[in-house]
Amino acid sequence: MTTAEQEKRVAAEVAADLVEDGMTVGLGTGSTVAFFVPVLAARGLDLRCVATSPRTEAAAREVGLRIERFSTVAHLDIAVDGADQVAPDGWLVKGGGGAHTREKLVAAAAARFVVIVDSTKLVPALRPPVPVEVLPFGLASTLRRLAAHGPVRRRDVPRSPDGGVICDYLGPVGDPRALARKVRGVLGVVEHGLFPPELVSEIVVGRGASAERLDLRDLRGARRGEKRQNALIGPPAPPPPGRP
């Protein structure tokens, strides 16, 4: 097993321990989630799960997890997913597997969204590619309007399970919130892979044989003046001049 695989597994194990009997659980997509699914199943809890991709659904069913259709589940207690990039301020890029639209919907439905990554996913600042799912109807015209913000390439992969075309924005990211707003504002775009820190509860980072758990809810508390601070995120920004 490579170091990255070991880190994914250890992060997955930490996340599986956060799940409690009777919970509704969102299952992400990717190689890190592939470690999470069997570890979760091995706990033998009574769970109702939703899956963000056919691949995850098949893997979960295989180890005996109960999968429900997300169209009938209004609220999840917890969702666990990987990420392609994690910035120091908690912004993520997701969608390396083209599942970011479903992954964002599942994360948004969850009271607690836990991101599990190996340490190679920590980056000083988000960078391209940023995945973008686009409606097939009007694709050429949507891509032309998207290209006004930066180069975009259609990915050579099958359509998403919802029929969307998977593309990658290849221009500079800069301020992720501003880019997210611009890309989201292009008619025909279904969703992009920029995940804001508000969506994230915790990030579990595998580091060698152990894992570090970073709580973004603590960071939000720290911004409100509470004392706790977050190792990955660093201390809260100083108040603007003139304010106590």
Catalytically active residues, by annotation: 103
- Count residues near ligand 5RP (CB under 6 A): 17
Q: x/- binding map, residues 14-43, to ligand 5RP, per CB under 6 A?
A: --------------xxxxx-----------
CA–CA gap between residue 196 and residue 74 (Å, rounded)? 21
What DSSP line would sit under 197-208, residue for residue?
A: GGG-SEEEEEET
Q: x/- binding map, residues 140-169, to ligand 5RP, per CB under 6 A?
A: ------------------------------
Closest distance to ligand 5RP from the beta carbon of 44 (Å): 24
CA–CA gap between residue 181 and residue 187 (Å, rounded)? 12
Output 198 or 226, the one with its CB closest to ligand 5RP: 198
List the interface residues with ligand 5RP, window 98-117 (CB under 6 A): 98-100, 103
List the interface residues with ligand 5RP, window 82-101 (CB under 6 A): 82-84, 94-100
For 13, residues 6+ apart whose C-beta sits below 8 A from its C-beta are 35, 39, 211
The DSSP element (H or E) to which 165 belongs, if any, is strand 165-169
Which CA distances in Å does 88 have to 91, 124, 190? Answer: 7, 6, 27
Closest distance to ligand 5RP from the beta carbon of 98 (Å): 6
Three-class secondary structure of residue 168 per DSSP: strand
Output 82 or 222, the one with its CB closest to ligand 5RP: 82
Identify residue 30 by its one-letter amino acid code: G
| Positions that interact with ligand 5RP (CB under 6 A) | 28-32, 81-84, 94-100, 103
